[in-house]
């Protein structure tokens, strides 16, 4: 499964060049052009590349939300913008690259940030369920939960968006993007049921009538 990158950049030329280069390097890339679009996104990412200057705010506005989901962060800043560089590190960024940058250098920084991440990816929990993203495994009270790749992605989607209503479309887009598996809307119900059966009382996935699902708990 390829590592996934969330690119938030308003400059269309930079964004498309970067997306292409990262995809060539084997990453899956989702692009958002501004803060509003980025905040609406419910994807699961290993790394976010955030432009500091965006039309509706600053890349800094996205840090807290991404950090809480365990996403590594790399900032794109203007040359010699020392204030922003210091601020980026204080707010939890892993690295920064100044514009204009060479694609080769940026890819190298991305690789390094993802390598560092390997050992430090934090566990995610909800109810009695713990997910270890570095291992790609889920546990209930310390015992490995036997799930398929698709069920694992479903579980990760719910845990990353706990207490939030997810539409069926949002959930389906997650499964397609990450696992490369095509799931029809009506089979989603079946997958959710199987996952619920495996989870038992350890985690609660509520059906929100006419909309989708929500995983509840802390």
Given 10, 34, 41, 81, the residue binding Ca ion (CB under 5 A): 10
The tokens for 197 are: 């059966």
By CB under 5 A, residue 57 contacts Ca ion: no
Of 15 and 215, CB closest to Ca ion: 15
Distance in Å, CB of 58 to Ca ion, minimum = 10
By CB under 5 A, residue 217 contacts Ca ion: no
Length of the chain: 218
- Nearest residue to Ca ion, using CB? 53
Of 32 and 215, CB closest to Ca ion: 32
By CB under 5 A, residue 94 contacts Ca ion: no
Given 37, 41, 53, 162, the residue binding Ca ion (CB under 5 A): 53
Stretch that binds Ca ion, among 53-61, 100-108, 163-171, 194-202 (CB under 5 A): 53-61
**What is the SS3 assignment for 72?**
strand
110 CA to centre of own chain:
15
Residue 2: CB partners within 8 Å, gap ≥ 6?
26, 27, 28
By CB under 5 A, residue 51 contacts Ca ion: yes
Question: Taking the CA of residue 203 as centre, how many other CA atoms within 13 Å lie in the half-sphere pointing to its CB?
Answer: 32
Is residue 30 within a helix (H) or strand (E), and if so which, with residue range? strand 28-32
Question: Taking the CA of residue 25 as centre, how many other CA atoms within 13 Å lie in the half-sphere pointing to its CB?
Answer: 20
Distance in Å, CB of 80 to Ca ion, minimum = 16
Q: Given the rule CB under 5 A, which residues bind Ca ion?
A: 10, 51, 53
């Amino acid at each position: 499964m390829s590592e996934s990158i969330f690119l938030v950049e308003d400059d269309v030329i930079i964004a498309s060049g970067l997306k292409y280069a990262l995809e060539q390097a084997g990453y899956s890339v989702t692009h958002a052009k501004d803060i509003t679009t980025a905040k609406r996104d419910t994807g699961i990412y290993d790394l976010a590349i955030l432009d500091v200057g965006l039309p509706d705010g600053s890349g800094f506005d996205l840090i807290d939300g991404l950090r809480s989901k365990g996403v590594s962060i790399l900032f794109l800043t203007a040359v010699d913008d020392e204030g922003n560089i210091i601020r980026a590190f204080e707010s939890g960024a892993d690295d920064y690259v100044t514009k204009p940058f060479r694609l080769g250098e940026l890819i190298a920084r991305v690789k390094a940030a993802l390598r560092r991440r390997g050992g430090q990816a934090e566990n995610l929990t909800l109810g009695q369920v713990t997910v270890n993203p570095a291992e790609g495994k889920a546990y209930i009270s310390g015992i490995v939960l036997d799930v398929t790749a698709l069920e694992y992605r479903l579980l990760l989607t719910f845990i990353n968006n706990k207490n939030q209503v997810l539409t069926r479309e949002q959930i389906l887009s997650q499964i397609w993007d990450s696992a490369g598996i095509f799931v029809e809307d009506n089979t989603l119900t079946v997958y959710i049921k199987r996952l619920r059966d495996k989870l038992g009382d350890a985690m609660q996935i509520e059906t929100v009538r006419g909309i989708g699902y929500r995983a509840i708990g802390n």
